[in-house]
Each structure stands twice: as structure tokens, then as C-alpha cells.
Amino acid sequence: MADHYLEIYRQQKSFHNFKKQIVQTLTEAFGSTRLSQITYLDLEKHRNTRKATPTWRGETRSDARVNREMAVLKHMLNKAVEWGMLEGTPFKKGQKLMFKENNHSLRFLSEAEIEALLAVCPPHLRPIVETALLTGMRKEELLSLKWEQINHGLIHLIRTKSGNPRHIPISGRLVEIFQQLRHQNQLKSPYVFCDGEGRRFNSVKRSFATACRKAGIENFRFHDLRHTFASHLIMRGAGLKTVQELLGHSDIKMNMRYAHLSPGHLQESVNLLNNLATNPG
């Protein structure tokens, strides 16, 4: 089942190494068990085991990460039903197996943190991070970005996670970044972000983690640059609908998590009402 699933879905844009690792983990956990013998209790035990298992860095596995793993397992079992390998999925036989996530605690950088991070980014990483902050693009969208996708003042993303094309306006600062990269690249590579040999970067995980550590930034992932982009747009007056279009979310409900504001910004907002109850007499 796992091999069949991998063969079909590994070509999809959203099927990254993370999902492949999840499938491998599931194979190790349930490999000797027939699909029809997997029970709700087995799923519950697997969820709790994964939660109690530290990440490869020795960190506590987050509820969100466990939920992503369980979501892949759920999708695999649903496909097994569609393919006639299974009569029904045990996911439907009990309470929801997903942990409740606190979306209101999404991490985003303050302006001071952004400045500190950019100051310690190595030359190959800084333009990638800046572009993420200025566009809200996903990591894979950035690393696979080609020059042919940039024209008429827009970044054209055709193959996206949602399946819907996205066109992101290019700001003045981003024009400068792209011009610098073109000069360095000398058109030797079709990729915007590449090494000295013109090869695209497959990962910036290690260099990004190092930069965050040097900048004193904790509990921050590359994907949180996307949250930073959205949060700062909203703090500057952009509407949720605008943010939805820029991020490429199909449902505006997904953007409600970005409606949170920093405490400092909230204070500035209420200060606008200082004179509201003032009695001039």
C-alpha cells in the first residue's frame, strides 16, 4: 500500500521529502499489519507514540507536526478505500484523532528581529529570506523560482500547492534584489537562486537555522517568514481578502490566523482614541 501510494503521489508539487519521511515512518509502524486489521486504538497509540518521540534534533514534537503526520496517514487510508483495498477507514470510528492547534500563537518577526536576521544571513541566503519576506512565497516556490516566471512586474506561480495560479506584484526593493542576482548570475542558470555553478538550492534549512541562532531568534521556522509577511501587511492596513489572494489560500478562513497583531501595534491603535472621551469644556 505504502509503495503504491508513494508511486502515485511523489510527483505532486506538494509531496516533499517531509511527506516521504512520514510514509516511511508509517511503514515502519504498520508495515507488518494488514490494512483491515488497523484499529482506531492502533491509530490513537501511534499518535501518542509520535508525540512522545523527540525530533531528530532532540526537540519536543509539536502538536502541529503530529497532526501533519496523522493527516498523511488519514489520506493514505482514504485512498485505500477508494482503491478497493479497504472497506472503511478506522478514522471514522471514534473521536477526532488530531490535536487541537493554537493558531493564535503563530510566530512572526518584529521589525527589529527582521533587521537582526538579515544582518547575519550569508550571501546566498539573504536574498532568499528577503524575497520570502516581501512576497510570502513558500520555500519550495522560492527555491524552484526561474527567471522565466518573472515579467511585467509580476512573479507568476503556475504550479502551486492549492492548484490555482498566483501572480505576485514585485516591489521596488524586490526589483533591486533581482537586478543584483541577475548581475551575479550572468544568465548562467534558469534559477533565480543558485550556487556558483548555476545549480538551484535544494535546501537552506541548516544555513537558516544557523542565521536564526546568530540573530538570537528562537522557535522560528522558514515557513514563519510567510506568517511574518502576512502579519506585517495586516498591521499596515491590508485587508484579509488581499492577504488571501497574495498567499494563494482558497478559503479566507485560513487567513483569520493572521488577524492577530503585535501588542505594540494594538497600543498604537487604541492611542488613536485618546481624545474620544475628552470634554473640551
Query: Does 269 fall in a domain?
Result: no
Tell me what the pLDDT averaged over the chain comes to. Answer: 82
Verify that 130 and 257 share a domain, yes or no.
yes
Verify that 77 and 157 share a domain, yes or no.
no
Q: Give the confidence band of 103 by pLDDT, cuts at 50, 70, 90.
A: low
CB 281 within 8 A of CB 127: no
Verify that 121 and 248 share a domain, yes or no.
yes
Verify that 243 and 115 share a domain, yes or no.
yes
Query: Does 222 fall in a domain?
Result: yes
- Per the structure, how many domains does the chain have? 2
Residue 68: CATH number of its domain: 1.10.150
Domain edge (last residue) among 33, 68, 101 = 101
Look up 50 and say whether it is catalytic.
Answer: no
Verify that 239 and 118 share a domain, yes or no.
yes
Verify that 95 and 140 share a domain, yes or no.
no
Q: Which one of the listed residues 10, 199, 223, 253 is annotated catalytic?
A: 223
Q: Give the confidence band of 160 by pLDDT, cuts at 50, 70, 90.
A: confident
Verify that 129 and 31 share a domain, yes or no.
no
Q: Give the residue among 172, 170, 181 at the shortest CA–CA distance from 136.
A: 170
Q: Which one of the listed residues 74, 139, 226, 232 is annotated catalytic?
A: 226
Domain edge (last residue) among 101, 119, 134 = 101
Query: Does 237 fall in a domain?
Result: yes
Look up 138 and say whether it is catalytic.
Answer: yes
- Average of per-residue pLDDT across 252-262: 54
- Average of per-residue pLDDT across 247-269: 58
Verify that 34 and 92 share a domain, yes or no.
yes
Query: Does 60 fall in a domain?
Result: yes
Q: Which one of the listed residues 79, 161, 257, 265 is annotated catalytic?
A: 161
Residue by residue, DSSP assigns the chain as -HHHHHHHHTTSTT--HHHHHHHHHHHHHHTTS-GGG--HHHHHHHHHHHHHSPPTTSPPPPHHHHHHHHHHHHHHHHHHHHTTS-S--GGGGSS--SPPP-GGG-----HHHHHHHHHH--TTTHHHHHHHHHH---HHHHHT-BGGGEETTEEEE-S-SSSS-EEEEPPHHHHHHHHHHHHHHTT--SBSSB-TTSPBPS--HHHHHHHHHHHT--S--TTHHHHHHHHHHHHTT--HHHHHHHHT-SSGGGGGGGG---HHHHHHHHHTTTTTT----
Look up 249 and say whether it is catalytic.
Answer: yes
Q: Give the confidence band of 261 by pLDDT, cuts at 50, 70, 90.
A: very low
User: How much is the pLDDT for 179?
Assistant: 95
Q: Which one of the listed residues 19, 74, 138, 232 is annotated catalytic?
A: 138
Q: pLDDT, tens digit, for every residue of 202-229?
A: 999 999 999 999 999 988 999 999 989 9
Q: pLDDT, tens digit, for every residue of 41-62?
A: 988 998 999 899 888 778 888 8
Look up 223 and say whether it is catalytic.
Answer: yes
Verify that 169 and 222 share a domain, yes or no.
yes
Verify that 201 and 127 share a domain, yes or no.
yes
The CA-to-CA distance between both ends of the chain, in Å, stands at 79
Verify that 39 and 75 share a domain, yes or no.
yes
User: How much is the pLDDT for 147?
Assistant: 95
Verify that 64 and 152 share a domain, yes or no.
no
Q: pLDDT, tens digit, for every residue of 78-89?
A: 888 888 888 888
Q: Which one of the listed residues 47, 139, 227, 249 is annotated catalytic?
A: 249
pTM of the model: 0.60
| Residue 126: domain span | 111-261
Q: Give the residue among 219, 228, 203, 215 at the shortest CA–CA distance from 118.
A: 215
User: How much is the pLDDT for 158?
Assistant: 83
Domain edge (last residue) among 41, 75, 101 = 101
User: How much is the pLDDT for 241?
Assistant: 79
Amino acid letter, residue 29: A
